[in-house]
Amino acid sequence: MKKWGIVLMFIFIAGYVGADQVLPFFQNEVNIEENTKDGVHNTVEQEIEERQIYQGDLLLVNENHPVHRGSIREDIVDVYNHPDLTENYVLLDADIQLSAEIAEKFSSMVAAAEQEGVHRFLISSGYRSFEEQGQLYKEMASDYALPAGHSEHNLGLSLDVGSSQGEMRTAPEGKWIENNAWKHGFVLRYPKDKKEITGISYEPWHIRYVGLPHSAIMYDRKMVLEEYLEYLQEEKTITAEVEDKKYTVSYYPDAQTETIDLPEDGDYAISGDNVGGVIVTVEK
């Protein structure tokens, strides 16, 4: 199995943190450096557009933060009609929809699981329209469903994963997802002991795509999305190294700035948080 390493460097506004606060991380160390935004040299400024706050992979959707119509992925497809996207898993029914990009990433992830002998995955639910979510809420009530517009399934970034071997709580597929999904940009959205934060009880079947390095940081620090976004708001800038790739993640509160720094060259991604801010992730 391929080893994954990640080094996080938490960058503070001023000063260095003492060596006694350096913590272990996947057999490496957390290195703490001064907040100089070293990963954003040769930048250009871009004005924040309102739509950017409501688009991207890091959108927070819960009881207090509903889905905006502009947040729904534009590449929603009927997965059954795209056999190239279902090579490594099965569908519970032929009506399941999902972002084509996310379906491809999920297929790649379960292909990696198959290399480790875990190969009985299925998708039981993917994207749901507001109308479908509303009907589900009407039928199942608040104990088992969320109102229309308040479910991550309305985005196209989340899916419910099952196993043909049994319940995900005990099936090998469930254990593999819990320990390995982060390597492929997915997180277990509603883990154990986080109901007070997420408002949702443990769901070992519900995964959400957030992308790297965010999934790696959240996994290491045992954070759910609510905690991770709050963490970014507090730190403003962090850097992370996942495998051989280095990232700088910067948070821009919309109320405090009108422009964001983007590299003149290199890869970067912009995501809103659906709260009022924008996250820029630069890959060095």
Which one, of 159, 229, 156, 219, lies nearest residue 191 by Cα? 219
Contact 87, 123 (CB under 8 A): no
Task: Tell me the C-alpha to C-alpha distance, in Å, between residue 115 and each of 1, 111, 187.
Answer: 9, 7, 20
Which one, of 150, 93, 149, lies nearest residue 126 by Cα? 93
Task: Tell me the C-alpha to C-alpha distance, in Å, between residue 247 and each of 40, 43, 52, 217.
Answer: 10, 15, 20, 11
Q: Is 203 a catalytic residue?
A: yes
Cis peptide before 213 (omega within 30 of 0): yes
Characterize 221-250 residue by residue with b for buried, 16 or more Cβ atoms within 10 angstroms of its Cβ, and e for exposed.
eebbbbebbebbbebbbbbbbbeeebbbbb
Based on the number of CB atoms within 10 Å of its own CB, is 251 exposed (0-12), middle (13-18) or buried (19 or more)? Answer: buried
**Residue 11: beta bridge partners?**
33
Contact 223, 235 (CB under 8 A): no
Task: Give the position of tokens 């999902």.
Answer: 98
Which listed residue (203, 226, 235, 283) is catalytic? 203
Task: Give the position of tokens 């930048």.
Answer: 43
Q: Whole-angstrom Cα distance, residue 196 to residue 169?
A: 20
Question: Which residues are part of the catalytic machinery?
Answer: 203
